[in-house]
Amino acid sequence: QQQVKQSPQSLIVQKGGISIINCAYENTAFDYFPWYQQFPGKGPALLIAIRPDVSEKKEGRFTISFNKSAKQFSLHIMDSQPGDSATYFCAASIEGNYGQNFVFGPGTRLSVLP
């Protein structure tokens, strides 16, 4: 129930195209859904996040779509650029006895071709 599934494992997109990464969860108690971007040899950095009372959040070229009934959420990268080439992790978190607990998806390696 604590697992977050993520697909695809890898994604190749042409410059200017749309990149879509999907995630699914089981535990309906999760209350925060962030996306992280990680470049090789670096730590992940928060990209965008959403809470379950909102169905969509947009920040620049990045949009999260959230479907509470289906327990799914996705990241859309519009007008994808070679600089977006990185690994993307979705996550879900829940308030536990000892603070916020995070569960991460396995990651999607995105390559944007010039």
Partner 1 sequence: DGGITQSPKYLFRKEGQNVTLSCEQNLNHDAMYWYRQDPGQGLRLIYYSQIVNDFQKGDIAEGYSVSREKKESFPLTVTSAQKNPTAFYLCATGTQNTGELFFGEGSRLTVL
* Chain positions contacting partner 1, by CB under 8 A: 6, 9, 31-32, 34, 36, 41-46, 49, 89, 91, 93, 98-102, 104-107
Cβ atoms of 77 and 58 closer than 8 Å: no
Q: From the CB of 63, what's the least distance to partner 1, in Å?
A: 19
Q: Which amino acid is at 54?
A: V
Closer residue to partner 1, CB minimum distance, 17 or 32: 32
Q: From the CB of 23, what's the least distance to partner 1, in Å?
A: 11
Closer residue to partner 1, CB minimum distance, 30 or 80: 30
- Three-class SS of 60-109: CCEEEEEECCCCEEEEEECCCCHHHCEEEEEEEEEEECCEEEEEECCCEE
- The first and second tokens of residue 106, run together, are 């396995």
Nearest-angstrom CA–CA distance, 49 and 114: 28
Closer residue to partner 1, CB minimum distance, 6 or 63: 6
Q: From the CB of 36, what's the least distance to partner 1, in Å?
A: 8
Q: From the CB of 15, what's the least distance to partner 1, in Å?
A: 26
Q: What is the DSSP letter of 15?
A: T
